[in-house]
Amino acid sequence: MIIELLKKRCSVRNFANEEIPYDIIKEIIEAGRLSPSGGNEQPWRFGVIRDKELINKIADLAYNQSWIKSAPLLIVLCTVIVGDDRGGRDIQKRRFPRFNEEIEEMDKALYSYLNLEEHQTKIPGTHMVISAIENGIYSTWISYFDVERVSRLLGLPSNHVAAEIIAFGYPEVEVRIRAKKEMEDLVFYNYY
């Protein structure tokens, strides 16, 4: 049951020195590939990083998060910038009618950058994290890194951005499940 997997999930930042077999990595990626996306655009690429030297370089671009170096696998979730011509600006104007004029006038390059479909990469990432747990592999999301330098390091094309990184591995020590807010503190029914 998926709820049982979700209850097992927690962030792990201390990984055992053990490689993840490639067939498990493939399953994790497959879980991401099956994600939904706006207009089924699938505006993402998944960078599978197992090279220790490259993992270390990425960790160095993540503001002293040296724990990342213990991970045997990083998956870099890259966003593909969807061009203005795909109608994104009109969608944003309808979502935020109050800013119609500003959105219309915004410089194209800046608009494209701000209109990153970055939030969408959270969906395949979430699929991957849950799929990994099924095989005893834990993970931690990483947003706190220099996006532009990591994108350059990986040689991404100019319309791609390294939006998120997830570190995967087997836990070195016993995992710790963190408390979550109670349901009644999170949910409202009909009106707030």
Ligand X SMILES: Cc1cc2nc3c(=O)[nH]c(=O)nc-3n(C[C@H](O)[C@H](O)[C@H](O)COP(=O)(O)O)c2cc1C
Return the number of the residue (113 or 144) whose C-beta is nearest ligand X.
144
For ligand X, the closer CB: 5 or 10: 10
Kindly tell me the sign of the dihedral angle through the C-alpha atoms of 19, 130, 181, 116. Answer: positive
CA–CA distance, 128 with 168 (Å, rounded to integer): 10
Tell me which residue has tokens 């990425």.
58
Task: Read off φ and ψ for residue 137, nearest 5 degrees.
Answer: -105, 130
Task: For ligand X, give the closer residue by CB, 80 or 129.
Answer: 129
Residue 105: CB minimum distance to ligand X, A: 31
Contact criterion met (CB below 8 Å) for 162 and 76: yes
Does residue 144 touch ligand X according to CB under 6 A? yes
Q: Which of 52, 143, 148, 159 binds ligand X (CB under 6 A)?
A: 143
Q: Are 62 and 49 in contact (CB under 8 A)?
A: no
140 near ligand X, judged by CB under 6 A: yes
What is the distance between the alpha carbons of residues 21 and 73, in angstroms, rounded to a whole number? 10
Residue 105, Cβ neighbours under 10 Å: how many? Answer: 8
Minimum distance between the CB of residue 10 and ligand X, rounded to whole angstroms? 4
36 token code pair: 């939904």
Binding mask 57-86 for ligand X (x = CB under 6 A): --------x---------------------
The stretch near ligand X (CB under 6 A) out of 47-55, 84-92, 109-117, 137-145 is 137-145
Q: Report the residue number, 91 or 130, with the smaller CB distance to ligand X.
A: 130
Interface stretch with ligand X, choices 7-15, 22-30, 82-90, 98-106 (CB under 6 A): 7-15
Find where tokens 């409202």 sit: 188
Binding site for ligand X (CB under 6 A): 10-11, 13, 65, 140-144, 178
